[in-house]
Amino acid sequence: MSEHAVKFYPFHQIKNNENIVLNLREHTWYSMKILIQRVKKAEVVANGDISGAIKQGLVMFIGFAKGDEFDAAKKALEKIKKLRIFSDPDGLMNLSLQDTGGELLIVSQFTLCAAFKSGNRPGFDPAMPPKEANKLYDHMVSYAKTILPGKIATGIFGADMQVSLVNDGPCTFVLDF
């Protein structure tokens, strides 16, 4: 192999300290997409009824991609509860959801996994099929209720929902897991 040749590795063979270029035309990996917003209050309405509402805390929109597993969802929740994105008395982002006793509103949103590879209309091929995503969402919500007891509210998976919130900051973050 010449010094300028590029060697392609299957994803599972990549090691942390190797200088590797991935052939992204042959390999595509999707991951869950999470958008969180720090809020003063929020609510979600589905079928004309409020299905979930919180006071100060975070709204978490989550889109599951094909291949996502519960371990990644669990890791995401553990990270989110510890993110230091709330202001301390000096106005610095030093406090977490856990520190502040804030609440978490979890809303499923498959459109976060949209692909705009060609054209102007979104494609949802990267999104996990609804039955699988619903199971993963339910499992994630159950776990959230164990690590933040009494602090979890939700939308309704697959429903047409209207989300109202008062963004605090504004303060919005996108996470990939």
> Catalytic: 86?
no
Residue from 109, 154, 157, 177 carrying the catalytic annotation = 109
The three-state (H, E, C) secondary structure of the chain, written as one string: CCCCCCCCCCHHHCCCCCCCCCCCCCCCCCCCEEEEEEEEEEEEEECCEEEEEECCEEEEEEECECCCCHHHHHHHHHHHHHCCCEECCCCCEEECHHHHCCEEEEEECHHHHCECCCCCCCECCCECCHHHHHHHHHHHHHHHHHHCCCCEEECCCCCCEEEEEEEEEEEEEEEEC
> Catalytic: 110?
yes
Residue from 8, 28, 111, 124 carrying the catalytic annotation = 111
Residue from 110, 154, 157, 177 carrying the catalytic annotation = 110
> Catalytic: 13?
no
Q: Which residues are catalytic?
A: 109-111
